Amino acid sequence: MTISRQWQASDGTALHYCLDDFSDPWKQSECVVLMHPGMGSAQRLYAWVPHLARDFRVVRPDLRGHGKSQPALDQPLTHARLAQDLIELLDHLGCDKAHVMGASAGGMIAMQAALRCPQRFSSLSLFAATAGINPERPKKGDWLARVAKGGVRKFLAETMRERIGNAEPERVKWFLDTAEGVTPEFLARFMPLMASEYFPEKLGAITCPALMVVPDPDPMVEAHEYELMRKYLRNPRYVAIKGAAHSMAGEIPDRCAREMREFLAELRPIATAA
């Protein structure tokens, strides 16, 4: 079963998610939530579904201001609000707990939610995700000025190699298309928020099992940021993938989904794909 649905957050904002569930109907399947990167949408994670949906209810939300989710420019945008969006989505779906995967900015939001509501997390998987943005990182690329001048699509096109490597033109176009719905006006609020708190030292408070998968090297993140996270997280499973780009969740989705599936299999037995 696959559905695409709008729902309403507690502040009245209309948000969107996709639900893919091909698990046995007579069983109570656990929920997996896949949080896409900033300047993306739920579409970016489509290829993860076949690896997970046979055994889990797979939920792919569009983050606020992304994809088919409203930006709510008249509402305050805070870490607490973005974390609450995730928790309220679990409430909407009737999920007491979930295995949550976050890619890049999606991982930042997932970490914020795990710190605020640890009881709602069965596990946390992070793909090229850092604990906030190191204050020096956005200055290197002058992101906001470039987005404001040329728009989201142009900025992504100019940084495509760092994101998905040497991809064929058709794939580049698809990648750019999945960013539709994100506006410079929203990013002018979203990106400073992501950079407003750098919190690796708080990660020790996350109690659920954790997975870290990172590019080696990451063309957009210094290695010491990941090492700092690894230091503070409680014994995470750590995987470094040689040659992967920063948007690894969309660049090499099958490899990434297999890493998460193996991690989940360590937490509980699941069927092995043929």
pLDDT at 138 over 60: no
Question: Domains (ranges, CATH) in the chain?
Answer: 2-267 (3.40.50.1820)
Contacts of 94 (CB under 8 A, 6+ apart): none
Average the pLDDT over 160-175 and give the result.
86
**Mean pLDDT estimate for the chain:** 92
Question: pLDDT class for 139, splitting at 50, 70, 90?
Answer: low
Residue 157 pLDDT: 86
Q: What is the pTM of this model?
A: 0.93
Q: Give pLDDT tens digits for 23-49.
A: 999 998 999 999 999 999 999 999 999
Residue 144: its pLDDT value, please?
A: 64
**Secondary element (H or E) of residue 210:** strand 210-216
**Whether pLDDT at 153 is above 90:** no
pLDDT digits (tens, 9 = 90+) for 181-208: 899 899 989 988 998 999 999 999 999 9
Tell me what pLDDT residue 273 has.
42
Please give the structure tokens belonging to residue 121. 């997390």
3 contact partners, CB below 8 Å, separation of at least 6: 18, 19
pLDDT digits (tens, 9 = 90+) for 206-255: 999 999 999 999 998 999 999 999 999 999 999 999 999 999 999 999 99
Cβ count within 10 A of residue 143: 18
**What residues contact 236, with CB distance under 8 A and at least 6 apart?**
210, 211, 212, 229, 230
pLDDT digits (tens, 9 = 90+) for 90-127: 999 999 999 999 999 999 999 999 999 999 999 999 99
What is the per-residue pLDDT for 172? 87
Q: Which among 1-5, 16-20, 24-28, 132-136 has the top mean pLDDT? A: 16-20
Q: Which residues contact 132 (CB under 8 A, 6 or more apart)?
A: 108, 194, 195, 196, 197, 198, 199, 200
